[in-house]
Structures are given as structure tokens and as C-alpha cells.
Amino acid sequence: MIAAQERLDWECYRLYGLVDEDLTTGDRPEPPLALGERAFEIVLARRMATGEVQTTWFTRHGSTPITELPAHWPESYRRLVERRIELIETDLDIGLIEKPEHKRRWATKPWTVQVQAALRSWLLDRLESPRYWPEPAITTVARLTAEARSDDDFVSVARLWAGRDDIDLAAVIAELVKAESVPYLAALRYTDSGLRKHAEWQATWALQRRRTPARTWAPSLCLRSTPRPTSPVWPGTTGASSTCPRSGSSATPAPSGRPTPAW
């Protein structure tokens, strides 16, 4: 993909009239390229070697700067890249475009990191399924663990995520729940200024309940409306249109010291 993108870049330069010659491999595909082997990266590495520029491009992308063309390239491709480098160094337009600011980064996460994220996401989705939460309620990690022990799929994925077979299922679930939950008590969720704003919201909700007793007002509902002139103004807004905060899962300390998740 890196080679294909590089070919596309140089083809576009010709199509837009920035260069007069075809600086691609024509009917033949370009040899596979690794990060750090593109023409502009070789130019950048040479300028780094001479102290002309300082950059974290290679460190940030985990690539190795090279100042010489790779020996495994075919001779025809080496001459082509040398011509590209010459244009980068002499043509103002090409030199401006062939810079890190205008080139695709190809900054992808390592495969192992992507697998770990996918496994963790699957486990979290499983824990939030109706099997574990037949109805909204406050529960314990112990109850979730008991349910998970009979869930063969969950246990298998948890072992893959942990990287070993002898897992402590309760510890795995506690780690997952703790990272995704928020403290139940407002004092543990908000800063000092946040607590004051939360108190203002509570006062606003109380006024709304007194004003419209037939409706059910709840902090977890997200309301978008234009209040009447006599209605209380949402805290921190101008009164034109606002959105009230929402809450998802929460966790409150249990006597055992383990978090008690709720949904």
C-alpha cells in the first residue's frame, strides 16, 4: 500500500502539470516499500544527517532513516527514485509538496495491539448483554463472575485477552468494569467547580418537577428544547438550547472493597 500510494502521488504530479515526465514504473508495479524508504524520507534523512533539519518523523512512526537507496531495489527503480529525489531538491513546487506535512503517515497500530483492543471490546459487550443484566440493577463483581464461569465463550476470550490459561476470572471482570465505570457518588466524579455546577443542575431539575409534576424528569434523560421565558435556564447555558448530562454505567464501593457495578 505504501508503494501504491507513492506511485499515485507521482502520477498526480504529472496529471496536474507539476512535472513533464512520467516518474512512475509504468505498466510494472512499484517494488514494495517500507516506512522510511520513500523518496522524500530519504531526502529528509540526508538533511538530518547533515544537521540541516531536526525532526521526530522517523521516531514517531517507528521507521529507520536511510540515506542510501536500498541495495535490493532493481536498478531501474533506483534510477527512478534518484530522479524523484533530484526533483524534490531542485523543484520548488515538488519540494513543497514532498514534505512530511503533506504525505500519508501510514501510522497503524501493531497487530497485537489491535487484537487486544478487539478482545477487550468483545468482553465488555458480552458483560453488557441481557444474559448478565436481565434487568437494570445494582450487582456485584462476584455475581458477574459466577455468571461468566458458565459462559464458555467469555472464558475463552478472557484467556486470550489475558494471554494465559490460568486466569483469575473475578480479577479480569473487576479490571474491565473498573475501567468502564464512573463512581456512584458525585463527590468522587466531579471537581469542586463540577460539584457546584451539579448542584445547580439538581436545583433546575427540582424546579422542573414542581412546574410539570405530570412528567417524569430524570438526570439521565437527555433533553433538547427551547424553554419558555419563565422556565429556569440550564446551568452554564444562555437558555436558547441545551443538552443535559447523561450517565452510563456506575460503580459504588462495596463492603468487600470490590466495585459494585450498576447499569
Residue 236, number of CB atoms within 10 A of its CB:
9
At 31 the pLDDT is 92
Cβ 262 vs Cβ 184: under 8 Å: yes
**How large is the greatest C-alpha to C-alpha distance in the chain, in angstroms?**
83
At 237 the pLDDT is 57
The model's pLDDT over 178-220, given as tens digits with 9 standing for 90+, comes to: 888 877 788 888 899 999 999 999 999 999 988 876 555 454 4
Distances (CA, A) of 173 to 53, 124, 179: 49, 9, 10
3-state secondary structure (DSSP) of residue 63: coil
> Nearest Cα to 258, choosing from 144, 123, 135?
144
- Domain final residue pick, 159, 180, 201: 180
- Domain final residue pick, 180, 207, 239: 180
Q: Note whether 40 and 98 are same-domain residues.
A: yes
Angle between helices 141-149 and 152-162 (to 10 degrees): 110
Residue 204 to residue 46: CA distance in whole angstroms: 64
- Domain final residue pick, 102, 126, 155: 102
176: exposed, middle or buried (Cβ count in 10 Å: 0-12, 13-18, 19+): buried
Polymer length of the chain: 263
Q: Note whether 249 and 172 are same-domain residues.
A: no
> Nearest Cα to 219, choosing from 246, 185, 259, 253?
246
Query: Which amino acid is residue 62, in one-letter code?
Result: G
Residue 165 to residue 158: CA distance in whole angstroms: 9
Q: Note whether 124 and 97 are same-domain residues.
A: no
Q: Note whether 167 and 245 are same-domain residues.
A: no
Q: Note whether 206 and 115 are same-domain residues.
A: no
Q: Note whether 37 and 61 are same-domain residues.
A: yes
Q: Note whether 122 and 96 are same-domain residues.
A: no
Residue 19, number of CB atoms within 10 A of its CB:
19
Q: Note whether 204 and 253 are same-domain residues.
A: yes
- Which residues neighbour 187 within 8 Å (Cβ) at sequence distance 6 or greater? 195
At 214 the pLDDT is 55
Q: Note whether 200 and 174 are same-domain residues.
A: no
3-state secondary structure (DSSP) of residue 198: helix
Averages of pLDDT over runs of 10 residues in the chain (263 residues) are 93 94 92 92 94 89 90 94 96 94 84 94 94 88 94 96 94 91 82 92 91 57 45 53 44 53 59
pTM assigned to the model: 0.51
Range of the domain at 147: 111-180
Total domains present in the chain? 3
Residue 19 to residue 87: CA distance in whole angstroms: 9
Q: Would you list the DSSP string of 74-143?
A: -HHHHHHHHHHHHHHHH-HHHHHHSSGGGS-------HHHHHHHHHHHHHHHHHTSTTT-SSS-B--HHH
At 246 the pLDDT is 41
Q: Note whether 97 and 116 are same-domain residues.
A: no
Cβ 257 vs Cβ 231: under 8 Å: no
At 72 the pLDDT is 93
Residue 163 to residue 75: CA distance in whole angstroms: 46
Q: Note whether 124 and 145 are same-domain residues.
A: yes
Q: Note whether 87 and 55 are same-domain residues.
A: yes
